[in-house]
Each structure stands twice: as C-alpha cells, then as structure tokens.
Amino acid sequence: MGLMKKVFGNTRKPDGWLGKMMARSMNSGGHAKMADWGMSHLDPNAAGNAAVRAVCDFGCGGGRNVSVLLEKFPQAAVKGFDYSEVSVATARKHNAKMIKAGRCEILQGDVSNITLPAESLDLATAFETVYFWPGLTHCFGQVAGTLRPGGRFLIVNEADGEDGSNDKWEKIIDMKTYTRAQLKESLLAAGFSEVSTYHHPEKPWIAVLAVK
C-alpha cells in the first residue's frame, strides 16, 4: 500500500522521477481524449470567444492542455499554473516554442492563494485537478477573482462522483471526487452567476462551465 500510495500520490503533486513520469503521462492517452472532449464545449467561433485574449489553465500538469488552448485561441496569451515544480518544468519544456514567442507563460503557485492580477483573465480551465484543491469554494473564489466580468471557468473531470467507484482512490491519493451538482453549488457560492453541466454519453467524464 505504501508504494501504491507513493506512485498514485504523484497524480496530486508530481515529484521526483516518478513525478516526471506522471507529468509526461498527463499529456497523452485517455487524459488527452478526455480533455479534448471537455474543450469541445469551448467553441472558439461562438459569440464572445473572439474576445478571449487571456487564458489560464490552473493545475496545468504536463502542459499539453496549455498547448491545445494556444491553438484553439490563436489570438490569446495562455498561462499554465501549477504548484508542482516537476509539472512546471515539464509544461515549460512542452510549450517552449510558444514561451519563446511570448504567447505562453508557465507559473508555479497555489490555487488557494492565486497571485495573478485581479480580473485579468477571459477564460480559466481546470482539467483533472479540482479533486485535490483545498477548500473547493474558497479556491473557486480565487479563480473568480482572476476573471473579468463575463469570464468563464471550465472544469473537466474524468470521474463524475456518482457511483462511489472512486472511494478507494480517495483514500490512496487523498483526493475528493465531486458530482456535477456539488461543483455547481460550490461555483455559485464562490460568486459565479451561471453554471452549465455536461456528462459524456458513454464515460463518467463531466464538464462544468461557469460564467462570472
């Protein structure tokens, strides 16, 4: 159990050589497919999306989703934000070209105390990460503070929290899965005004899109 906890605990905060492997694995396979499904709810051609100029992916992991957001919103500057040194290093390597071009920045920080300028973002995202956020409503409030009025926050999770199948992982990894209803409740309590939820027709994937 000790070794298993150490291995899977790296999903929470990648560290050391195991963390490097974990951070790289976040950029491929099922994680990528799930993230792309979630991002399908962000149509760059929809009304208002042409005005997206500043984006931040909170809990950016290996940085793959940052690169997709850079492609999806070619007019925008995109930040990645993560509290793991290993994830920050991996994300910077993955997005080195765009960092050099001045369109991307990868920052280390804690979602419970976000230091980005207030109302500086048009869009925030969080993929497979809110399971680990300490004090969900507080952290959502921190994200809300970085968004301009009308800004949006997209959350995408692999687990829908509806059948108890993740109870064992919650004990091993020190994580908490949430239902769409629970996420919506916390988002509204954090100051978001409108929340839409989505569930994949075949998988337990969920996406939640909130508007400030």
pLDDT in tens, 195-208: 999 999 999 999 99
**C-beta separation of 190 from 196 below 8 A:** no
> Mean pLDDT over residues 165-177, rounded?
67
Span 11-45, pLDDT tens digits: 444 444 343 444 445 555 558 999 999 999 997 66
**C-beta separation of 159 from 168 below 8 A:** no
Report the pLDDT value the prediction gives residue 31, as an integer from 0 to 100. 82
Least confident of 22-36, 51-65, 168-182, 189-203: 22-36
**C-beta separation of 80 from 49 below 8 A:** no
Structure tokens at 1: 């159990």
> Mean pLDDT over residues 171-192, rounded?
90
Report the pLDDT value the prediction gives residue 25, as an integer from 0 to 100. 52
Superfamily name and number for 2-211: Vaccinia Virus protein VP39 (3.40.50.150)
103 beta partners: none
Q: Which long-range contacts (CB under 8 A, 24 or more apart) does 91-97 make?
A: 91/23, 91/60, 91/61, 91/62, 91/63, 91/66, 92/63, 93/63, 94/27, 94/62, 94/63, 94/64, 94/66, 94/67, 95/63, 95/66, 95/67, 95/70
Amino acid at 136: L
Report the pLDDT value the prediction gives residue 174, as an integer from 0 to 100. 73
- What percent of the chain stands above pLDDT 70? 78
To the nearest whole number, what is the mean pLDDT of the chain? Answer: 85
Q: How far is CA 17 from CA 7, 21, 37, 86, 153, in A?
A: 10, 6, 30, 9, 32
Amino acid at 173: I
Task: Parse the chain into domains and list their residue ranges.
Answer: 2-211
Cα separation, 116 vs 81, in Å, equals 10
